[in-house]
Amino acid sequence: MIKKQRNINFGAAILFLIFSVLFFVLLFRFFFIQATGEVKGQVLAAKAEQQYTNSTKIEAKRGTIYDRNGEVIAEDRSSFSLIAILDEDMTTDLDKPNHVVDLKKTASELAKFIDLKESKIFAILNDGKEKGRFQVEFGAAGRDISYETKNKIEKLELPGIAFTRTMKRFYPNGIFASHVIGYTETKEDKNHKTAIVGKLGLEKSLNDVLTGTDGSFKFESDLWGYLLPDGKEQITPARDGKDVYLTIDRKIQILLEDALNKVDKEFKPKKMIAIVADAKTGEILAMGQRPTFDPETRQGIEKGWYNEAVETSFEPGSTMKIFTLAAAVEEGVFNPNEYYQSGTYAVDSKSRKVPDHNGGGGWGSITYLEGVQRSSNVAFAKLANEKMGFDTFREYLTHFGFDQPTGIDLPNETNGKLAYTYPIEKATTSFGQGTAITPIQQVQATTAVTNGGNMMQTHVIDKIVDPNTGKTIKDTKPEVVGTPISAKTATEVRDYLETVVTGENGTGKKYAIEGYEVTGKTGTAQIPGKGGYLTGASNYIFSFLGMAPKDDPELIMYVAVQQPDLTNNSDGAVPVSMIFNPVMKSSLQYLQIKPSGEKPAEIAKVPNVIGLSSSEASDVLTEKGINPVIVGNSAKVVSQIPVKDEKLLAGERVVLKTDGDLTVPDMTGWSIRDVMKVAEAANLKLNSVGNGYVVKQNVKEGAVIKEGEFLIVELNDPETILNREKEAEDEEETDEVEVKD
């Protein structure tokens, strides 16, 4: 018994000792924490503040990409996804249910707003309910819902229907300079934060510029996350990404995309490239290619990742002759009336002969100007070798920028590859064979021909603006990057090249545009293959590098079509002209460039009738054989087009503007030249469709119109008008017969 008591006392002593040690350890720990304020290296005060401080991210907006006129090309927009909550536990008040109650009604209402049949929506809801799911979504049809559609659905107050919000990059124009603009993807980092990242084109190269900085909203809260009445708030504003304004003109780009689509559908070429540039500044107004892709869906991206105009070099063919001609004219060695023997040309005794493109047959002894018109390889090889000398010609290739990238503000620009070692390579370079250059190099070099000898830097970025401050942080100005030729040479070269389009022997007849003088050069480039060049009528790159109007160029346009299907048409110029002609003409009209036309026979000088009454002015003009047109409903004439002393054809119209409301005359049967007079007098924006004479107008005769509004006219050639009238007469006759029966 005594032994047992000793054991108990010993055990009690051990427990007392253990608890005493624990007490002193805890006491020491307490004083240590109180003294240092740290636990395991973490400051408790900060930890407590973190626990009772909530933070909400303020999402920054990615910068918007605009065209030159402020039209949106790419922007961030709120995108909403539709969800349906099915869990009945979400409803605490039966009068205000938070889950879908009536599946059939819900399906019926939602079918009015999303692209799913009512039966499919009901099946999704019913399947989710049977499987006990908390919520269901509706696939692609329930994603990317606009703000307007979301509001309409919310107004229905359907129980259990809700939305999740995300930011998405939106491209409102669809396929639109896609390889220039690029596209974005939403990426998730290791911290599960998502961000929109550019993956191609300007979206990628300007990603740092376009990406903004997220802000935050911090506030003190209680244990349950509610804002404390006297809690501190800290707001760090988001800084949106910079806005980028391009030189691209939306209207011209759409014209180009439509023309490319038409040729792509009819001729199914392997590739197409087209560029429209401002002839005076080097600004790129439009740039497109096929194959292409939709930047929003990325459909078609697998067919081509490269911007063919900038990232691919190839043998240009005869469009290169523009610059050989310019060099020869500048050196004073081009005599348009001098004769030479066409057919073949031996550069030296060791090299193969240079043949003309008609199999080396040539056209006998012809002038150098005819050689330009016929695109004679022999003529240009002789100009480079005998007239200038290959060393001098090589210097001009550098002056025109063919041995270095242009420096255009687009990513991944490649350089040309000048093959200029052997005499035969030097000769073939003069007419665009053997040497490879990029389309953008050709366009930039052409600005010297259109701009008085000054070669302009090509660019697509007009300016970059900080939307947070409104400050312009980059403003691109026209920049001269070389003067390879003189202004006199530039004028002469355009005059010579005009005969390629208008001359009897010209290869560019298909590129003539009614009302405008076009100057330029055709190209038919061979395509390298295994063991030599490909053969066959379609195995070429057909191209045209044109400028208009000839005397004062406003636009440069380059078009190249590779390997079109010419089964039903042996002329490769047809698909090229189907792009060049409508885009060039419509662009010139859109830019309000007056047609040149033929010079009229002079019959009378226009008198000054400003200040007269409209009736008095009409009498004065009629006496001189001039047709007056009144624009306005008041008496006094305040302006006239054409102005005093200009000479006109008999019956040509003079537009008189009065000081009253502007009214529009009936322009049926008018030429585009006369229509433009009305547009100028009334300060209207003119759009025209077709060629020939007016058959329709968007504003009725006598209707009042305000300055700055659109005047749209449809034109047809006389033959089409006559055919339509004949068809109408035939229909009337048919109707009469039917009535008699």
Positions marked active-site: 318
Spatial distance between the Cα atoms of 68 and 552, rounded to a whole number of angstroms: 22
CB 282 within 8 A of CB 456: yes
Name the β-bridge partners of 221: 227
Residue 452 phi, psi dihedral angles, 5° rounding: 65, 30
**Which positions ≥6 away from 360 have C-beta within 8 Å?**
343, 344, 353
296 vs 182: CA distance, rounded Å: 10
Residues facing 605 on adjacent strands: 647
- d(CA 522, CA 431) in angstroms, rounded, equals 11
Handedness of CA 280, 560, 521, 431 (dihedral sign): positive
CA distance to 328, 378, 429, 436, 650, per residue, from 420 (Å): 18, 18, 7, 11, 59
Secondary structure (DSSP) of 292-347? ---TTT-TTGGG--S-HHHH--B--GGGGHHHHHHHHHHTT---TT-EEE-SEE-S
Tokens of 239: 């800084």
Cα(427)–Cα(389) distance, integer angstroms: 10
In one-letter notation, the amino acid at residue 495 is: D
381, 328, 372: which is closest to 496 by C-alpha? 372
Using CB atoms within 10 Å of the CB of residue 660, give its burial: 0 to 12 exposed, 13 to 18 middle, 19+ buried. Answer: middle
What are the residues whose beta carbons fall under 8 Å from the beta carbon of 597, sequence distance 6 or more?
515, 673
